[in-house]
Structure 1
Amino acid sequence: MKLQHLDKKRLILIDLDGTALKANGEEIHQKTKEVLIKAREDGHHVCIITGRPHRASIRFYKELGLTTLLTNFDGAHIHDPLKRRFKRIVLPISEDIVQGIIHNPIIKDACQNILIENYNKAVVSKKDEFIEKFFHLDDVEDDDYFISNVYEAWEGPSTNVVLFLKDDKQKDEIFRQLEKFKNSIKIQSGNVYGNMSQEAVSMITLTNKIVNKGFVSDILAQYYNTDIRDVIAFGDQMNDYEMIKRVGYGVAMQNGSDDLKSVAAGITQLSNDEGGLGYYLEALLEGKEV
């Protein structure tokens, strides 16, 4: 893959886990950081599009010195965390649907724990260190996080519902029950965020049906007056699929999903731990064949 028209200022979309971040989920590879900062300083727009909530992405946004829009929950929350000149877009699951799902007797019986989030609050039924770490529930003080009975405590719509199952064998039956809500929700199972450090945890993540990174790519391209064919995007997992397909230069990480690689225009030569995004983007912006 080779970039055309090197004089154009690009919109560069980056996923976090498994892409810009190293496998520990806690740091950006130094090369990736340097190249993204240089791209920003050269006049390109760099935007984070992540499945993470605001609280778990804002420190990387600040570390890169970004002033652009930030997208969380794979597109369910689009906002301007710095200047606040963009009216926040939140695309949730309605309260009626949330209540219908968690009170479904089969789903209720199959779950050992439930996490429900909106863009600035989270409630989990039972304290669990893995859930707190994986979903970064304690990362930002101005987000509300409660441990409480979700059947009684949750009110309002939700950008994210996560069902933690007692037994992986129950998953098929849960999918059958969730079919009743198919017009409202999108179902993602397994490692949607790129780093699953505890494989024994069986979880199902639910978001608004229309939410995906592909339509966010269109919104951001419009906002920054960029032809979608000139947009560069990096991702590693299937929640990046629509974004990688939609943009002109969709790049899959070397450590990423084979299904994602099959639709990508390019694949990094190095993994996220090796600064694959940084080295690839640097060569691309220099007009080299990669």
Structure 2
Amino acid sequence: MDQKLIALDLDGTTLNSESQLSSKTKEVLQKAQEAGHIVALVTGRPNRNSVNYYDELGLKTPMINFNGSLGHIPHHHWDKEYELTFNRKIAFDILHEKENLGIKIIAAEGKDLALADVPNNVLGGYFPTALKSTEVLNQMNLQRDPTSMMLLVDPDKKDNIVHQLESNFGDRITVGVWGGPNPILELSPRGINKTYGVRYLANYFNIDRQNVIAFGDEHNDAEMLTYAGWGVAMKNGTDKIRSLANDVTPLDNAHDGMAYYLEDYLNLA
């Protein structure tokens, strides 16, 4: 079998419903690597809360964070590392209009950047917690262009906020709307999604697009699954994702759906 590049979303795909790596998942991904395939995590998460999974899997490959905006090898210097950003003035403009727009929390992030304008926020899993004065998002502390911004917004004002942001900054950023219960908007460099990172890795490893297999479950996986030679949606994925994928896992992420599918697809059993 040709060498495959296996591009894996984390939440709802590689991780179970407790946001953990199961023993089955770790076993199958280890087998895949031993068989000569390349396993890469491709996540919307920042590196600050995904490197633990990278380490637990014992990976040495590049990792893609921020939905394609950062490609790096954790703990190592990589001369092909990239980080895409947008002008920090956008962050300052949004901070200035925060109350008028109906935004509750603003965070700006990058590979070595994690600032939030509200200390000790209750959504610490998604937003960085500003424990020190130097971690508070303001003009003095934000000295570089961010890779990503996260906004917790008033649910009733979400559509209007999206419209305002796209009207003011749409030529420079993409405004993403998260699924799930929290009304969160994510700002990223214009036109960048997970496919940018997967294509970058495919070129780096000299893997033909047809030998890319990608797994995902949410809207931010759509382009990656379409780009891959074989895009697989999780059983627990959204209707849209399942409709555009080449195949759907018989089992969901709570029952090792990705691991069992990959084991069968690559004849690893």
* TM-score normalised by L of structure 1: 0.85
Amino acid at match of 2:157: Q
- CA distance 1:282–1:213, shift in 2 (3 Å): same
Correspondence for 2:143 among 125, 133, 155: 155
For 1:1-290, list aligned pairs within 5 A: 7-25=1-19, 27-103=20-96, 105=97, 108-135=100-127, 147-150=135-138, 152-165=140-153, 167-178=154-165, 179-191=167-179, 196=180, 199=181, 201-286=182-267
Spell out structure 1 runs of 4+ moving beyond 6 A: none
> What is the CA deviation profile of residues 184-207 of structure 1, one whole-angstrom value per residue up to 9, with x for unaligned ones?
11111122xxxx4xx2x3221111
Amino acid at match of 1:174: I
* Contact kept? 1:121, 1:145, Cα under 8 Å: no
- Give the Å deviation of 1:137: 5.4
> Which ranges in structure 2 are unaligned for 5 or more consecutive residues?
none
Greater displacement, 115-124 / 265-274: 115-124
What SS does the corresponding residue of 2:124 show, helix, strand or coil?
helix
- CA distance 1:250–1:136, shift in 2 (3 Å): farther
Aligned residues: 267
- Give the Å deviation of 1:107: 6.0
Give the alignment's Cα RMSD to 1 decimal: 2.2
| Cα distance between partner residues in 2 of 1:89 and 1:269 | 36
| Cα distance between partner residues in 2 of 1:260 and 1:41 | 30
- CA distance 1:97–1:43, shift in 2 (3 Å): same
| Cα distance between partner residues in 1 of 2:198 and 2:185 | 25
| Cα distance between partner residues in 1 of 2:60 and 2:191 | 26
* Contact kept? 1:122, 1:145, Cα under 8 Å: no
> Which ranges in structure 1 are unaligned for 5 or more consecutive residues?
1-6, 139-143
- CA distance 1:113–1:82, shift in 2 (3 Å): closer
What SS does the corresponding residue of 2:244 show, helix, strand or coil?
coil
Amino acid at match of 1:124: A
| Cα distance between partner residues in 2 of 1:10 and 1:151 | 45
Could you tell me which residue of structure 2 aligns to residue 4 of structure 1?
none
> What is the CA deviation profile of residues 41-85 of structure 1, one whole-angstrom value per residue up to 9, with x for unaligned ones?
111110010011112111211111211111100111101224423
Greater displacement, 259-268 / 150-159: 150-159
Greater displacement, 226-235 / 115-124: 115-124
| Cα distance between partner residues in 2 of 1:115 and 1:133 | 12
